[in-house]
Amino acid sequence: GGRQARKMVASLYRAEAGKFVLTVALFVVAFVAVPPSNHAFFFSAYVVMLFIPSLVGWMGRPPSPN
């Protein structure tokens, strides 16, 4: 019921927060261990990698009949 839904939503928020913390921590490790020569290129590559699954799903979808 409603309690179970609230628990699931809370669990999703915790998972997203953990994913965000992990992303920040790995960025820190990447900048400390292997300083990139171009920060703009590094973040641009990260943003592109975020959008690739959506683009592949969109491009792989068969065309809809008119």
Instruction: Name the percent of the chain lying above pLDDT 70.
Output: 94
For 21, 22, 31, 34, the CA distances from 27, given in Å and listed in that order, are 10, 9, 6, 10
Residue type at 36 in one-letter notation: P
pLDDT band (50, 70, 90) for residue 18: very high
Reference 31, options 44, 20, 41, 42; nearest CA is: 42
Question: Is the distance from CB of 49 to CB of 55 less than 8 angstroms?
Answer: no
pLDDT at position 22 over 80: yes
